[in-house]
Structure 1
């Protein structure tokens, strides 16, 4: 580990040298090849990945780490915002929302409605996140109230304030609706704040996955410590 508490791919035993980038890279393949040099010591290392290489879509800081160790470290570093999306149909955008939530360090992702969702767009990032399922909006509201999280509805609702002119709460749940119908009435009624994204074209709404990325990035710009970013 580095002095800042961030993971270091060269965090080996004293006196051990980490492999250089030229030794990591395997032409024509994604990720890194087998570890070269003395085997590093630590519970976070994955013996199989060290031996065979790490082809996962992870930042270099987590190369060769066990999946559980990565998830634990992300939970420790997580920002105090959660993301919730209603799963009323077979919405392909949910995977994109999950992947983006991972990238921006969300504390958790909440699926409201159907338990099963299309995971393809998540690119296995859901394995590193705290995932919650709520059969209905009531379960999500109870979670938010119990953890003192403001509910922020993102939709073109009457009375919604512009995201570009609004301060987002630091401890919150960002709520996104299903593609097409948007947020359900139950979620709208429970929200503490409703925000909309400024648009200038002819379409009434933008893709739910895109909207989620815009709002999460707005939260990061306002509240995150950018020195901790990769």
Structure 2
């Protein structure tokens, strides 16, 4: 695989070229990728694997936390949330509100990350309650407990609001608890995609082996 950070400023190819030598006798490998090379944004262990094989392997190891984000105004942060959820191996990403979302920020990780849609907060709550999953909202609201010191349940849903307006009233009322992220500057809030990444990493620090 070619490296990155070359000094000459030339474009650097990502991934690997065509398979050298006899092809592996393994159904996980994609003949087209073996022949043409694999330039996807995947870790090395998944080079030349089919999408289906990658998803099956991820499904065997997924963490039991979920991430939900409200989408009432076509939030551009959702792609980032999906990509980060894939990186931290979340069970699912739940999009609440509008079904359509901008996939550009996901960088094709939505092929590997399970994404579920809910028409509204009530539908998300019904789904979470049926699975016995506590719904933990993340927003800097009065009375919120600090994410930095709060023990997180191993199985849970981390809920984030719309960029700008934050959590809807329905989401605030439905949440089993509200967690805040410590800030020290002048801005009232941080980007929803960044907040989701911080919260997912907090879960990983507590529970991932």
Same fold (TM over 0.5): yes
For residues 67-86 of structure 1, what are the structure 2 equivalents within 5 Å? 67-86=51-70
Once the two structures are TM-superposed, the CA of residue 28 in structure 1 deviates from its matched residue by 3.5
- Kindly state the Cα deviation for residue 195 of structure 1 after the two structures are TM-superposed: 0.1
Distance 2:172 2:27 in 1: 45
Asked whether the equivalents of residues 79 and 107 of structure 1 are also in contact (C-alpha less than 8 Å), the reply is yes
The answer for the alignment partner of 1:199 in structure 2 is: 183
**What is the CA distance between 1:73 and its match in structure 2?**
1.1
1:65 is paired with a residue whose SS is coil
Equivalence for 2:85: 101
Counterpart of 1:141 in structure 2 is 125
Task: Give, in whole Å, the separation in 2 of the partners of 1:182 and 1:25.
Answer: 41
User: Which blocks of at least 5 consecutive residues in structure 2 are unaligned?
Assistant: 4-10
TM-score, with structure 2 as normaliser: 0.94
Q: Which moved more, 1:37-46 or 1:59-68?
A: 37-46
Question: How many angstroms does 1:145 deviate by?
Answer: 1.0
The alignment of Structure 1 onto Structure 2 pairs a total of residues equal to 202
Confirm or deny: 8 A CA contact 1:25 1:33 kept in the other structure.
no
User: What is residue 101 of structure 2 aligned with on the other side?
Assistant: 117
Q: CA deviation at 1:25?
A: 4.2
RMSD across aligned positions (CA): 1.3
Give the Å deviation of 1:64. 0.4
SS at match of 1:165: coil
- Equivalent-residue separation in structure 2 for 1:146 and 1:90 (angstroms): 28
Give the 3-state SS of the residue equivalent to 1:79 in structure 2.
Answer: coil
Report deviation, 1:37: 1.2
